[in-house]
A = this chain, B = another copy of it.
Amino acid sequence: MATKVNGSSGKDLDGGAVTILDLARELRLSKTTVADALAGSGRVSTETRDRVRELAEKWGYVSNRAARSLRTRSTGALGLYVPPTVRTAPFYMEFALGGAERAASAGFDLTLFAQRPARRRDFGVDGAVVIDMSAADELPRQLVAAGVPVVAAGRILGHEGEHAVIETPDREMAHQMFELMRSRGARRIAFVTPLHDFAVAWAVDVSEAYVAWCGQADQEVLMRSISVAATDTELAAAIDEVVRIPGVDALVLAAEGWAARAKPMLTAHGVDVGGSFQLGSLAGDPLTDGADAAISRVDLGARAFGVDAFDLLLDILSGAADRAAVRVHPARLVPASVHPGAARRDD
């Protein structure tokens, strides 16, 4: 009862993409058998399977994603959301590409969400990773409401327990940074961190870690806050302030890129960076802060972080991990190379 009468040989690559039915017709098999042969499911003789696969290869058959998705209720894509505030940083690009790599290795595509959509929508993903989300952002709860498994890279303040989380040990790394500097002779370590209204976990964590360390190390709290997207002018103003504080012999900056930008400013003030004055970055990717051996940095391993985040997501999808699982992605402290002529006081 088909409307179109198909010729004998077939192989109609003309109309559009080749389907399972095309293969079945050509091989005089049923679609079920062809599908089974291709998927390796069902009961098919080895000979038949080989015939099917050979023709599929020859004709360039590709399984229609939409049809499969419709039938299986899985999309074959994972989502990633990077909030607008911070997305210029190379860190997120590395993270995203690590994620894309991991997703691809599991046969998933990576869909990048732009802004949060105005209207409710079909996200079109089997799961999603959101990174460094402010508590105010609604996207995670929209995802959760839509039944999409979510992994938060960096926990979301006030939303703990609502989804899985993977974190870098920010407090611990900050602590290590301060300890390193002290062990290298620093006595008064200043700290520049994002403004308090930047309600993202890592920023809060490192600030608290600094204050805690000061208490423990019996050091005065020398903290300045600037916008996480600080311009050079803003950053320079903070540096000016810090330099003016008497006896400051070390400075740690919380956000990516700050240290590299601050260094020339410090130098302009006559500060011997890498020598008598220590400079550190708590989010130092190899590209910016890390390019300078005079800066101690915390290497967050952005790429591997992305891989790990999507790894967790995949584990959740496969049932190997709980939907509220919490994991830690290791970071690494990379001390500045000690300047040979540096004044170094060993207590």
Interface residues of A (CB under 8 A from B): 16, 60, 62-67, 69-70, 73, 75-77, 80, 82, 87-90, 92-94, 96-97, 100-101, 103-105, 109-115, 117, 120-122, 124, 146, 232, 257, 260-261, 263-264, 267, 286-288, 291-293
B104 with A114: CB separation less than 8 A: yes
Instruction: With both chains docked as a complex, state the minimum distance between the C-beta of A114 and any C-beta of chain B, in angstroms.
Output: 4
Distance in angstroms between the alpha carbons of A115 and B263 in the assembled complex = 36
B111 with A104: CB separation less than 8 A: no
Given A66-B66, A92-B93: 5 more A-B contacts, CB < 8 Å? A16-B73, A89-B93, A97-B114, A103-B114, A110-B112
A112 with B114: CB separation less than 8 A: no
- Pick the contact of A82: B89, B97, B109 (CB < 8 A): B97
By a CB distance below 8 angstroms, the chain B residues around A87 are 93-94, 97
Instruction: With both chains docked as a complex, state the minimum distance between the C-beta of A123 and any C-beta of chain B, in angstroms.
Output: 9
Pick the 7 closest A-B CB pairs, nearest first.
A104-B114, A93-B93, A66-B69, A100-B114, A66-B70, A62-B122, A110-B112
Known: A70-B64, A124-B77, A264-B264. A100 touches B113 (CB 8 A): yes
Tell me how many chains of this kind the complex includes. Answer: 2
By a CB distance below 8 angstroms, the chain B residues around A110 are 111-112, 114
Instruction: With both chains docked as a complex, state the minimum distance between the C-beta of A318 and any C-beta of chain B, in angstroms.
Output: 19
Distance in angstroms between the alpha carbons of A66 and B125 in the assembled complex = 11
Q: Which residue of B lies closest to A98 (CB)?
A: B114
By a CB distance below 8 angstroms, the chain B residues around A114 are 97, 100-101, 103-105, 110
- Pick the contact of A94: B63, B88, B97, B124 (CB < 8 A): B88
- Pick the contact of A264: B88, B89, B112, B292 (CB < 8 A): B292
Instruction: With both chains docked as a complex, state the minimum distance between the C-beta of A65 and any C-beta of chain B, in angstroms.
Output: 5
Known: A82-B97, A260-B260, A264-B263. A62 touches B112 (CB 8 A): no
Q: Which residue of B lies closest to A94 (CB)?
A: B88
Q: Which residue of B lies closest to A92 (CB)?
A: B93
By a CB distance below 8 angstroms, the chain B residues around A16 are 73
Instruction: With both chains docked as a complex, state the minimum distance between the C-beta of A223 and any C-beta of chain B, in angstroms.
Output: 23
Q: Which residue of B lies closest to A109 (CB)?
A: B111
Q: Which residue of B lies closest to A233 (CB)?
A: B293
By a CB distance below 8 angstroms, the chain B residues around A124 are 65, 76-77, 109
- Please, could you name 19 A-B residue pairs with CB atoms under 8 Å apart, sorted by A? A62-B121, A65-B69, A67-B70, A76-B124, A77-B111, A77-B124, A82-B97, A87-B97, A88-B93, A88-B287, A89-B90, A89-B93, A90-B90, A90-B93, A109-B111, A109-B124, A232-B292, A260-B260, A261-B292
